[in-house]
Structure 1
Amino acid sequence: METRFITQTAELEQLCQQLSQSEFVTVDTEFVREQTYYPQLALIQIADQQTIACLDPRAIDDLSALKTLFSNPAVTKVFHAAGQDMEIFYLIFGELPQPLFDTQIAATVLGQGEQIGYANLVKEILGVDLDKSHSRTNWLQRPLDPKQISYAEDDVRYLSQLYPLQLKALEAQGRSDWLAEDFANLGNPARYQSDPSTAWRKIKGLNKLKGLQLAVLQKLSAWREQQAIAKDKPRRWIAADIIMLDIAKLRPKDSQALAKIRGIPANLVQRHGDKLLQCIRDAEAMPKEEWPSLPRHKRLTPAQDALVDVLSAIIKLNAQQYKITPTTLASRKELEQLVHGEHELAILSGWRRHHGGEQLLTFLQGKSQLRSQDNQLELS
């Protein structure tokens, strides 16, 4: 295969014109985000079955040719574990590559592994051992040495071989349409949009708070998110989660009380103490009915717990039939939610409903039964 390292806009335009004639392109990115809120894009790898190119986004003045390629409906964009790549392209272009294919998602419905890593999938399907020694490379530094570039190229080189094989397997097994909903979710822009008002939900340990404490945490988290975005710094650099939780729990009334919170940095109090206290006051002024709340985790009765076990057995039967892992269809948590009467669940949507969810509903409605036949379970 031809390999190229592209640093000029004209080169990119020529490449994208060439790639636009392909049925698919494989795509990956390298980025760094340890010291920033937003990922710092360092390299874009893209390939078809004839050419591999590494694009230097820090040198190329205009990436609009790539945006045009990504929006071309005749060219499928193939990724592995595309979530972070999607986030980056949404930040750059304000839109997402379409149409999409994710080999990690495809692997789950083909029985090739659930959330399988790229190197493991390449080993499993192609028998190739990938060098992962550069996985912690600082991709922002220049120049990149030949080994780093070769490592980056491999991330799309073998995708170009995996995709046709997976596509053929999906068609042979009649599963091509199984992936439409998962890919639509992956390509939903709302998934990559920041909303400071919901940032509190990502804080570890928030289940220890309740009522007004959660309202304070919501206000504090929205402030921290806005600060992190404005300064392009990690949230933890603004204020650590544990500090946010303690402020929400203790609700200090003044800067002296704020400064006494265990572990709170003095510079946080000095620079932002007034704003933190204002967040507390704003939360305290909220009507009680506007306080955020956590989902209630209802306890299962012994009978309900046994019912979940039965539903798990049905899921396992279906998973065995399709040679996929049971959790690809439904997790135990989802089955517990189903027993509690919830219906906005993945198992009741799309291909999962057709190949597992309907059987669960039929059983719960008393229209089928699970029985033993020749020392094996079967649903009838």
Structure 2
Amino acid sequence: MTFHLHQGDLPEGLDFGASVAIDTETMGLNPHRDRLCLVQLSSGNGICHLVQIPLCRPDRPHRAPRLQALLEDPAVLKIFHFARFDLGVLWHYLGINCQPVYCTKIAAKLTRTFTDRHGLKDLCKELLGVEISKQQQSSDWGAPQLNDEQLKYAASDVLHLHRLKEKFDEILAREGRTELARACYDFLPARAKLDLLGYEDPDIFAH
């Protein structure tokens, strides 16, 4: 594993190719309260770039033009695990409308109907034979200086998403659910914005 920490934005000249794996770290799970602290990206080559986001609020958003250009590039597929949360946070704090997207958690739920274990740690172990640690998941991501254990944990969340996507693409095709999955991915940016508006509960799709 190799990782590079950047402050505020990606450096010039990085090329992630046709697809990039992405994750975020925040102060908690409420986007209106818990700010975005870190964005992790990898092209699936074992190298992770981490962008530390300075203290900002939705009324005083931070701008990261190179990160935004990458995440809004229609020619680059963005791979997430539980994209619904990350898309909302990226929009709320950075004004980034991230498309197109792929979500390994949705792919897991569409294909692994024999289990309710769809967490990234479970998927990596069962599909890839890789053990990842979640020890730093609840640490202070807003600290000015992140320690090596935090950075290694954050990097591990994106280093395996490309391989998971390959596995799920095979299973989705086998089960005839590729197009259904794609339709779900396409809807995710709108679903994330509905969450930000408070439509998570009540769910407008409920009876």
Which string of whole-angstrom CA distances, capped at 9 and with x for unpartnered residues, describes residues 326-363 of structure 1?
xxxxxxxxxxxxxxxxxx889xxxxxxxxxxxxxxxxx
Partners in 1 of 2:187 and 2:31 — Cα distance? 26
Q: Count matched residues.
A: 196
Q: Point out where structure 1 has 5 or more consecutive residues left out of the alignment.
A: 203-343, 347-380
Aligned pairs for 1:149-168 (under 5 A) are 149-168=151-170
Q: Report what 1:4 is aligned to.
A: 4
1:48 has 2:43 as partner: yes
Which string of whole-angstrom CA distances, capped at 9 and with x for unpartnered residues, describes residues 150-172 of structure 1?
01100001112211222233334
Q: Contact between 2:25 and 2:141, CA under 8 Å: does it hold in 1?
A: yes
Aligned pairs for 1:23-172 (under 5 A) are 23-33=18-28, 37-50=32-45, 51-58=47-54, 62-111=63-112, 113-114=115-116, 116-172=118-174
Q: What is the CA-CA distance between 1:77 and the residue it aligns to?
A: 0.5
Partners in 1 of 2:195 and 2:31 — Cα distance? 17
Match 1:194 to one of 175, 189, 197: 197
Partners in 1 of 2:63 and 2:131 — Cα distance? 36
Q: Contact between 2:63 and 2:94, CA under 8 Å: does it hold in 1?
A: no
Matched position secondary structure for 2:142? coil
Indicate the percent of aligned positions where both proteins have the same amino acid. 24
Partners in 1 of 2:28 and 2:69 — Cα distance? 26
Greater relative contact order structure (CA < 8 Å, 6+ sep)? 2
Q: What is the CA-CA distance between 1:187 and the residue it aligns to?
A: 1.7
Range 81-90 or range 181-190, more displaced: 181-190
TM-score normalized by structure 1? 0.46
Task: Please identify which structure carries the higher strand content.
Answer: 2
Quickly say closer, same or farther: Cα 1:95–1:170, change in 2 above 3 A: same
Quickly say closer, same or farther: Cα 1:115–1:76, change in 2 above 3 A: farther
Partners in 2 of 1:68 and 1:55 — Cα distance? 14
Q: What is the CA-CA distance between 1:115 and the residue it aligns to?
A: 6.3
Q: Report what 1:206 is aligned to.
A: none
Aligned pairs for 1:215-254 (under 5 A) are none
Matched position secondary structure for 2:13? helix
Q: What is the CA-CA distance between 1:42 and the residue it aligns to?
A: 1.0
Partners in 1 of 2:98 and 2:117 — Cα distance? 21
* CA RMSD after TM alignment: 2.8
Q: Report what 2:13 is aligned to.
A: 14
Quickly say closer, same or farther: Cα 1:23–1:194, change in 2 above 3 A: same
Q: What is the CA-CA distance between 1:39 and the residue it aligns to?
A: 2.5
Q: Report what 1:178 is aligned to.
A: 180
Q: Contact between 1:39 and 1:88, CA under 8 Å: does it hold in 2?
A: no
Quickly say closer, same or farther: Cα 1:124–1:100, change in 2 above 3 A: same
Which string of whole-angstrom CA distances, capped at 9 and with x for unpartnered residues, describes residues 5-26 of structure 1?
11264x53333xx12xx12111
Q: Contact between 1:103 and 1:163, CA under 8 Å: does it hold in 2?
A: yes
Look at both structures and tell me which one has the larger radius of gyration over its CA atoms.
1
